[in-house]
A and B are shown apart, each in its own frame.
Chain A
């Protein structure tokens, strides 16, 4: 008997037991949805992805340019104070960093441990559900890697990067598996935590978990959306034959780890280029991985870590790269969202790519050729002393470089003044909205060998502390004018910021905090216009959409994200529930 059949029998037995128990005769409801198909599903076209219907949320940051902005304005500065819970949906407990997809009144959500559900976006009724049969080992281990930050939708399929390092396509109408492609061996540590990006028929996916004694680092791969077949692969660490192979200080390929591509990319259709970020090399401490001290005859900037990679989506050709942080020895990823926006610079309009790494420094490069344009500091930091005005190359403060046997003070440190919660750009205000946190850390390198087979990444102890002369506020939301790099407003609070930003055409900006508050700010003044206290930390990417003519705002809450838990060590008085992941959906009351 197959395992699945055995499970079915057990479920039937449970149901029978439940039905015969006193008081349960009316309680068994609708375990299988009556209508397990999305009716009249409209395939998602390239045109839809290029210019999404404002009612939908089709891409991780809604549009290819990574703005995370919605033009919807039914909910606005005047009426946001009336926002109420429309419906909620309990999610599988665990790290919940999810971004729902909404298409034509159907909301698709990824649950911890690879459960995907299609819900009626207006009511929260379940339409279908897919649960991946993950290896028991992965489920037993748990951990944040069983969460995913996004999925993708295209034509009639929903695409999911799974916790056992597969990419799968589900029928978006029924949830049935259409294809299943294994990309890496999960038992060797390969895994996905971000999801795919679809660009005119190609599925693009970044790999993470490349520090578990797996040589050669991570990669970004392109796949056929109809079969999953891998079409191309870009290694995020320079391999032999690569022109930048000598940037690893002579360390052989077998000993180069990291540069995870653990967040989705952005896409410029005019330039037919996708932009992906990469994280730091492993282990975090440069002396431990052999890229310090620098050897004669080699470079030691460890390409392509902490970089933007500009890739042709059709061929996988690396067009150019820009490295933000050479030879990172602090765990200061530059892997996050790439915001594509045209900006006035020195009297001309430049096609800029904006990103902010864990240092909290906003950086602009030209997305045509990778040329550095400018940088803007936000939170207190002591790692970067100055920038080369032409190349943007950073002059690093020598005292901030961790060394074996020493403790250094770094501001910020792991998990960064910003983590995976994304910044967002509003074309309406031309402001960049940033979820930030202010803190420092006493950083001490520690060996990897407490247990004899201890092969985890890392490694250093981060003893997190407030910044010098702190007023006690850790969390901060900044609005920065990209045209002249001035700060429009800044909101500070004790609780760390733990969710992405969502600016809307209604003039409000949504975001949330560790202490369970989901807030709406005035997009031009930073005034708090509305807030709701939820069941757990706000820990996902908020989205907004329309269903049946009504605007909704959705965000996931939950515990288990390592970024959230690390920030929580700075505010030990803020308790958070262990479980309770929930998708909260808000709307204005019916008139």
Chain B
């Protein structure tokens, strides 16, 4: 272990002790929802958690980065000198998910991993930590000769997962072109549906989240023949991923940010990403 990492770990230990004391104190503060929070039936039932020495973190079983999130949850708890307690959510979730996120944060976990840092995408009652990894959207195609979107003939149809930040940027780019210079673009319901459309030849290329492609390729043999190509002429479509928590948890937020910084600096996050061959890098 290098001296630089030693120093970083010592510093991490020092503030982690302080963080632990603060976390235990913060857990005892009464919870009070602000008026603009989602309506949760019988919200009074959700009191403060009494086990102040545990970091309860949620992961969504539908997330492509689930293996990464699990390891990062453990690492974060360790950095804060807390016991890790994982809660897997998302099975059969339906409906208005912003309400579910609120309820989960009230009822189950201190922090919910796996959210992109997107400006103005979160309501006031929800805050997001600094990112712990950076990944990107990629174009996926079955064609061997293409190196980037620029190589895809304009007569071809491309798609993007509906409503993603990358697809929104793609739409903006296409609208800036003359109609005759545009690719025909369709919004697709999900990353998985978009990849199936590429396999089936309905789309020449699809813009999907790289971690989704990573996870779906492991699961679906038909996607083995697909490959990524560059975004050019589009700029990079990167996004940092962090964890959300209730905005009122200011102390926890500050300490999680420091913990992420420390885990980044000492190489722990890079190690997790490399171990899983996950298509992402630590956030500098």
Contact = CB atoms under 8 A, between A and B. Distances in A.
- A and B are partners in one complex rather than unrelated chains: yes
A215 B96 CA distance: 17
B120 interface: yes
Interface in A564-580: 565, 568-569, 572, 575, 578-579
A85 interface: no
A578 B46 CA distance: 14
B162 A560 contact: no
A299 to B, nearest CB: 16
A450 B115 contact: yes
B95 A141 contact: yes
A343 interface: no
Given A452-B60, A578-B43, A295 B184 contact: yes
Nearest to A404: B168
A95 B39 contact: yes
A93 interface: yes
B25 interface: no
Contacts of B202: 252
A447 B168 contact: yes
A234 interface: no
Contacts of B185: 290
B177 to A, nearest CB: 11
Given A144-B39, A459-B163, A255 B99 contact: no
A191 interface: yes
Contacts of A569: 35-36
A452 B162 contact: no
Contacts of B92: 135, 137, 187
Most-contacted residue by chain A among B35, B64, B96, B175 (CB, 10 A): B96
B122 interface: yes
Interface in B220-234: none
A310 B211 CA distance: 46
B100 interface: yes
A447 B239 CA distance: 12
B188 A450 contact: no
Contacts of B184: 250, 295
B155 to A, nearest CB: 13
Contact of A447 (B118, B211, B241): B118
Contact of A254 (B93, B163, B188): B188
A451 interface: yes
Contacts of B65: 452
B257 interface: no
A251 to B, nearest CB: 6
Contacts of A191: 94-95
Given A404-B171, A449-B118, A188 B94 contact: yes
Contacts of A283: 162-163
Interface string A201-240: 0000000010011010000000000000000000000000
A348 B117 CA distance: 61
Q: Helix, strand, loop or mixed for chain A's interface?
A: loop
A287 B96 CA distance: 22
A511 interface: no
A404 B186 CA distance: 16
B148 interface: no
B64 A212 contact: no
B104 to A, nearest CB: 9
Interface string B68-106: 000000000000000000000011111111111101000
B164 A455 contact: no
A445 interface: yes
A65 to B, nearest CB: 34
Contact of B40 (A142, A255, A257, A452): A142
Nearest to B241: A452
A578 B44 contact: yes
A559 B38 CA distance: 11
Given A250-B184, A255-B162, A187 B190 contact: no
A520 to B, nearest CB: 29
Interface in B169-199: 171-172, 175, 179, 184-190, 193
Contacts of A453: 60, 62-63, 90, 93
Given A141-B100, A404-B171, A449 B63 contact: no
B209 interface: yes
Which one of A144, A191, A447 has the greatest number of beta carbons of chain B within 10 Å? A447
B121 interface: yes
Contact of B64 (A112, A448, A452): A452
A212 B211 CA distance: 21
Nearest to A136: B92
Nearest to B203: A252
A404 B163 contact: no
A265 B193 CA distance: 35
A289 interface: yes
B101 A250 contact: no
Nearest to A295: B184
B131 interface: no
A456 B96 contact: yes
Interface in A134-182: 135, 137, 140-145
B163 A447 contact: yes
A209 B162 CA distance: 17
Given A141-B103, A446-B120, A449-B163, A187 B94 contact: yes
Given A290-B186, A448-B163, A189 B94 contact: yes
12 contacts: A93-B41, A135-B92, A191-B94, A213-B189, A290-B185, A448-B164, A450-B115, A451-B101, A451-B116, A453-B93, A455-B97, A461-B120
Closest 7 CB pairs of A and B: A448-B163, A453-B62, A447-B165, A213-B189, A449-B164, A290-B187, A452-B63
Interface of B: 35-36, 39-44, 60, 62-65, 90-101, 103, 112, 114-116, 118, 120-122, 161-165, 167-168, 171-172, 175, 179, 184-190, 193, 202, 209, 211-212, 241, 244
Given A252-B186, A449-B116, 6 more contacts: A287-B171, A449-B164, A449-B165, A451-B60, A451-B115, A454-B97
